[in-house]
Every structure is written in structure tokens, then in C-alpha cells.
Amino acid sequence: VLTSFPGAQLAIGPPITDGFYYDFDIGRPFTPDDIELLEGKMHKILAEDQPFDREVIDRDQGLEMFADQRFKTEIITDGEASQGVGDGVITVYRNHDFVDLCRGPHVRSTGFLSAFKLLRSAGAYWRGDEHNPQLQRIYGTAWNSQKDLDAYLERLEEADRRDHRKLGVALDLFSFPSELGSGLAIWHPKGALVRKIIEDYSRNTHLAHNYDIVSTPHVAKANLWETSGHLDFYAEGMYPAMELDHGQEYYVKPMNCPFHILVYQSSARSYRRLPMRLYELGTVYRYERSGVLHGLLRIRGFTQDDSHIFCTEAQLAEELQALLDFTLMVLRDFGFTDFEADLSTKPEKAIGDPELWDRATDALRASLEVADLPYEVAEGEGAFYGPKIDVHVRDAIGRRWQLSTIQVDFAQPENFSLEFNSPQNTRERPVMIHRALMGSIERFAGILIEHYAGAFPGWLAPVQAAILPVADRHNDYAAGVADELASLGLRVEVDDHDDTLGEKVRRAITAKTPAVLVVGDDDVEHGTVGLRLRDDEGEERGVPVPDAGRRLVELCAPPR
């Protein structure tokens, strides 16, 4: 970049999953021609097998070396360049005429880097802060061989075909109107129906697992968020206060937990009535920076399948085990089969009894091992108020998604002075468990769209069967077939547009409808349909309507 844009300011360039990026300020965005030019120069550098040389220098030497690079001098001045190296000491790597801050390690020379590709460029704010200068980020990827690189690029193409933002428009599921503002989605009829199916499943399975459904408002007075600690620790993620009731400040909720705590507090609690499991499809609002918003996956207003469980210390291990089993059941019902987890343990700064931390962490670990769930321990990565499990799934093309969180909380029971009456008739603190199995309905739906490439399983599809009359004279018969199938609980749509049959078939296939039923003269005469299932080749003619109905009911049966 420096040889092509001599005045370029260099920011940072870390490795990321499956690749790397580097941020630059060249005064304008990079063009595709720029990327092609840079990639060509990189290939020449690889062919020259230039060595990488590591140097250790002090802070003053670094400031002198990078005097004309304002982002580098800021990193050195702030002490970031010394992290992991030593106080006042930084490391740089030289590559021919180029030198850069880096902790390393590096490969010995550029000749080891045989297969790479620059992928794209995008805007990015310095330090992720929209008040800072906007830089230009170039993304790339590097692999051990051209074969590995080609396979990765094929996966990227497949991921692009599955992009929920594109499929959401193509399937008429949702949109993000600019009139609303960034990160706020509108669900169209078919998308809202998919969402309702997901929510109904969630609500019904929680009822079956002895959860109590609650409903809470979207706003609360400031003192609630002061007590919970959100205004101290999470204010940047909250929308600004609204002044109502003669200057009283209200906030839209970023989380549901304080409201569920108020339900617990609403009457005296006894150990005999614990655990208490409260569940809500609760809509929350978080001020995410515009640069990190991403379709339904990162959004400002979303609904969580949120639950808070209040139990005794003695009940904690059993409750966590049951909760993890419940989590995996839910994820399997939606078609995920490949799971792994992270167990985040006590950080240096934490509240609560260390022995209780150990017992809670051991209980989380035991639940993972009983479930035979592969996991990694993230030492010291737990929140200050308790350890947690994050459950990840792999989708149909092998991508890893974090979905479910099970979080033990020792802080909020203290903040709100929660109590229950023990068997010894003493007042004791309950333990609180936060958990969201889907994360949010919006994000979960986005992941499902990409997992299934928009071709939802029958029970999730907004339209389960499309009925296509060959000509206008078959419309009444098609409507009768639709009524018969609808009486079986199927979601049916008749395409009676004034189009050719071929156009109707293409429309149904593009909509990824699980079943297409064609009706013509013979079908009207014999009470049959032509049946074409999405995952089968060809059409089966002359299927009696009752038989088609039974097969579609089986095809579209929900889990359990």
C-alpha cells in the first residue's frame, strides 16, 4: 500500500478467523482496481522470498521510527504496543523496506505464504468508534495450499448465496426501511409467520418444562437501572433517557432481568417454591454502533427467549444439568446437530463467595461432561458476577455460531436484596441463572435462513404447499383442494395469477415451497393432484387429494 499510496497512514492489521485485515487511511475508499494492483504486488513480494526480521526497541525509538504515522504513535503512546512484550519495550518486524509494529511471531520469510487472496475492502472507524476517523479496511485470507484456498473461496460463495439479507428480500420475509433508522427490522407477512412459529414453539416448550410465562413493559425508571448496575456498566449500550413525569428519567430496556427480579420480589418466597423459572419473549433495545450492525444478526431492537431462574445453592447443579439438556433439545429440534461450548471461569475481579464460584463452575463443567458436549475452558473470561456456558452450533456449511448462553449470577440477588425462607426458617440469598437458548428471535431466524438456505423444513415454512391451477377453469377446484388441506392444519396458497403454468412452477420453486400441487382437467375429473416435493425429482401424477394431504401432514409435522 505504501508503494502505491506513499502518504498512506497505517492503523492495525490483526489475524482473524480464516484470514486477516489491515486498516488504512488513504483519503478515499479503495477501488476494485486498487485491490487487484495490491494483490499483484503481493505476489511479487512472495516470489522474492523476503525475510521477516524481528527487532526489540524502546518506546522512544518507536516514536521516532513511526513519527509520520499518527495511528502507530498513538498505539505506542497509549502503551498498547508494549502489552505482552514488557513495559516500555515494543517489537517491530522488518520486511525489506517495510517496518511495522507487531508482537509476532511470523513465518521466516514471504516464500512460506504461497496461497492468499484479497477479498474486499470496507469502511471501519479507528478503534471502532464512530467519532473517530473512518479508515479503509482490506480483508484477505491465506492458506497452506492453493487447494485449501480454492475450497475456502467456494465456501465463501456458498455463504454469499445463503446470506439471510439477500434471501430475506428474495423470499419477502423482512426489510430494513431507511425511514426507521439503522438496525430496526420490519417483518413482512411470511417472515412474521415464520417468526410466530418459532415463538410459539419456544412458548409451548417452556410451558412443557415448567416455566412460568411473564410479560413486562419496554421502559422503566432510571432508579431500576441504577440498582441493577446497568447505568454504571452498560450505559453506552442503552438508548438515551426520556424525561417524563416532571423530570423523571425513563430508559427503554436493554435487558429483561431487572423486570423478572421484580416479579420474584413481588411476594415472600420459600425454599418450597424454588426453583422459580420465569420466561418471557421480551423485546429489548440496545444502541449498537452502526458499523457493527449486520442484518438480523446484529440489530438494535430484538426479542429474546429470555428466562431467569431463581434457585437455592443446593439446587444449582441439578438445575444447570436440566437446563443444558433442554438447550440441546431445542437446538436439535431446529435441525442443528453439531455442538461445542465455552466454559468461562472466574476473572481476577469478581464478586461473591469463592467457594460458591467453584461450586457453580464445577456444576457447569459437570453438565457439559454429562451431556458429552465438547468444550473449551476460557480461563478468567467469566463476567464479574458469575461463570457461564456459551453453546455454539455448526451450520450446514460448517460455520460456527454462538447461540445459547447459560449464565450464573451472584450479583443481582445482592443488588436487589433477594431472599427466600430456608428450611431452618432463616433468610437466604437465591442463586440466579440467566439464559437465552436462541439468543434472540431475530438472530436465530437469520441463522436458520442461512442454515437452510431459505428452504425451511416443512413445519417452519410459511407456505407449506402451493396449489397451481393449469388454467382459469381449474381455479375453483384448486380452491377446494386448498380448503381440504387447510382443514388438516396445513398452510396453503393458491397461485391463480394469469400466468403460464411454467411461470407458476418457477415462482413456487423460487419461494422454496416444500410441496407444489398442480391441478388440471384430469385432476378435476378424478379428484387428484399432481404432487411435486421440493427435495424430490419430478412430479407424481394422479395422487388422490386425501393421500396428498396425509403425506403433507407427515412432511410438515413439527418436532414431537
Residue 121: the pLDDT is 95
Q: Which of 308, 392, 512, 532 is catalytic?
A: 308
Residue 242 falls within a domain, yes or no? no
pTM, 2 dp: 0.88
Provide the 3-class DSSP secondary structure of residue 166.
helix
**484 and 497 both lie in a single domain:** yes
> Is the domain of 444 the same as that of 477?
no
Residue 2 counted as domain residue: no
In CATH, what number is assigned to the domain containing residue 326?
3.30.930.10
Sign (positive/negative) of CA torsion 442, 444, 446, 448? negative
> Annotated catalytic, 188?
no
Q: Say if residue 337 is in the same domain as residue 408.
A: yes
Instruction: Respond yes or no: is residue 308 known to be catalytic.
Output: yes
**List 306, 390, 395, 409, catalytic entry:** 306
Looking at residue 526, what is its pLDDT? 96
129 classed as catalytic: no
Residue pLDDT, tens place only, 421-468: 999 999 999 999 999 999 999 999 999 999 999 999 999 999 999 999
Residue 90 Cα distances to 22, 56, 75, 80, angstroms = 20, 6, 11, 9
Whether 209 is a known active-site residue: answer no
**Per the domain annotation, does 62 fall within a domain?**
yes
- In sequence order, the 6+-apart residues with CB closer than 8 A to the CB of 339 are 328, 331, 373, 374, 391, 392, 393
Residue type, 32: P
* pLDDT above 90: residue 293: no
Q: Do residues 469 and 477 lie in contact, with contact meaning Cβ atoms separated by under 8 Å?
A: yes
Could you tell me if 487 and 513 lie in one domain?
yes
The answer to whether residue 53 is catalytic is no
Catalytic residue among 162, 260, 346, 434: 434
CATH number of the domain to which 94 belongs: 3.30.980.10
Same domain, 121 and 13: yes
**Do 351 and 410 form a contact (C-beta atoms < 8 A)?**
yes
Could you give the count of Cα atoms lying within 13 Å of 134 in the half-sphere of its Cβ?
10
Average pLDDT, stretch 14-25? 94
**Strand 212-213, strand 276-285: pairing:** parallel
Secondary structure (DSSP) of 216-260: --SEEEHHHHHHHTHHHHSGGGSPPPEEETTTEEEEE-S-SHHHH
Which residue range is the domain that position 501 belongs to?
A: 465-555
Last residue of a domain, one of 165, 189, 208: 165
pLDDT bin (cut points 50, 70, 90) of residue 359 is confident
Q: Are residues 422 and 331 in the same domain?
A: yes
Contact 462, 176 (CB under 8 A): no
Q: Is 304 known to be catalytic? A: yes
**Residue at a domain's end among 104, 139, 165:** 165
Report how many domains make up the chain.
3
* 151, containing H or E segment: helix 146-161
Q: What is the pLDDT of residues 227-284, one digit of tens each?
A: 988 888 788 889 999 998 888 999 999 999 999 999 999 999 999 999 999 999 999 9
CATH code where residue 483 lies: 3.40.50.800
Residues 107 and 198 occupy one common structural domain? no
pLDDT score of 354 = 87
- The 8-class DSSP code of residue 161 comes to H
CA distances from 283 to 198, 240, 299, 381, 441 (A): 15, 17, 12, 27, 10
Residue where a domain terminates, one of 165, 197, 229: 165
Per annotation, catalytic residue among 164, 190, 277, 286: 286
44 is catalytic: no
pLDDT higher than threshold 80 for residue 552: yes
Q: Is residue 285 located within the same domain as residue 376?
A: yes
- Tell which residue, 187, 196, 406, has the closest CA to residue 281: 196
Q: Which helix or strand (DSSP H or E) is residue 327 part of?
A: helix 316-333
Identify the active-site residue in 346, 388, 443, 504.
388
Could you tell me if 58 and 196 lie in one domain?
no
- The two most distant CA atoms of the chain are separated, in Å, by 92
| Residues 495 and 380 both lie in one domain | no
SS3 state of residue 286: coil
Q: Mean pLDDT check: name the lowest of 18-32, 96-110, 344-358.
A: 344-358
pLDDT of 349 reads 82
Residue 325 corresponds to which cell in the numbers above?
Answer: 439438556
Q: In this structure, what DSSP letter does residue 89 have?
A: E
Please determine, for residue 84, whether its predicted confidence score (pLDDT) is greater than 60.
no
456 falls within a domain: no
**Is 513 in the same domain as 407?**
no
Grid cell in block for residue 419: 431472599
Q: State the catalytic residue, choosing from 117, 190, 230, 257.
A: 257
Task: Identify whether residues 545 and 431 lie together within a single domain.
Answer: no
